[in-house]
């Protein structure tokens, strides 16, 4: 059950904002709360590379059947009614080669709308000031 309550919201944190031109305050709040989890060197800043590494680790958790792709087959049956449409939206947003599934590369290197919106100076690093501003939105 933990996979449903933690991992799948994290998946949609990564993917939901892609379709919208501006991230919602809820998406920004989720990003900020996950930012420190992804800050592997614990310097209080989150680099684009750290965020991509975090996405890679999340991919491993989301790929429940271990086939190297994210599809509806990875959504637990108990959550399929709610999560399958969200998985389809995520696939539509990130599926660069349009094969109907997400590879690790597509997931890790896909659009980073929320990250980019918080990164006010566009230097690829969310510093303490940018994170604090995002928390206040």
Cα separations (Å) of 102 from 40, 98, 137?
Answer: 25, 9, 31
The pLDDT assigned to 30 comes to 80
Question: Tens of pLDDT along 44-93?
Answer: 899 999 999 999 999 999 899 999 999 988 888 777 788 888 888 889 98
What's CA 24's distance to the chain center, in Å? 14
How many distinct helices (H) and strands (E) make up the chain? Answer: 8, 4
The pLDDT assigned to 17 comes to 44
The pLDDT assigned to 80 comes to 77
Closest CA to 50 of 35, 63, 33: 35
Model confidence, pTM: 0.75
**What's the mean pLDDT in 5-26?**
56
Q: At 47, give phi and psi (nearest 5°).
A: -90, 160
C-alpha–C-alpha distance, residues 32 and 21, integer Å: 19
C-alpha–C-alpha distance, residues 61 and 64, integer Å: 7
First to last CA, the chain: 31
User: Is 2-135 assigned to CATH 1.10.238?
Assistant: yes
Residue 114's pLDDT band, with cuts at 50, 70 and 90, is confident
C-alpha–C-alpha distance, residues 16 and 103, integer Å: 17
The pLDDT assigned to 37 comes to 85
């Amino acid at each position: 059950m933990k996979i449903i309550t933690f991992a799948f919201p994290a998946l949609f944190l990564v993917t939901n904002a892609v379709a919208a031109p501006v991230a919602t305050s809820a998406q920004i709040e989720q990003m900020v709360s996950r930012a420190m989890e992804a800050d592997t060197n614990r310097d209080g800043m989150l680099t684009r590379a750290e965020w991509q590494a975090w996405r890679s680790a999340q991919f491993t958790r989301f790929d429940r059947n271990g086939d190297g792709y994210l599809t509806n087959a990875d959504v637990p049956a108990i959550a399929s009614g709610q999560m399958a449409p969200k998985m389809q939206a995520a696939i539509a947003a990130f599926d660069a080669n349009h094969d109907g599934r997400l590879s690790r590369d597509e997931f890790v290197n896909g659009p980073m709308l929320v990250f980019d919106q918080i990164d006010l100076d566009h230097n690829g690093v969310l510093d303490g000031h940018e994170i604090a501003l995002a928390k206040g939105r």
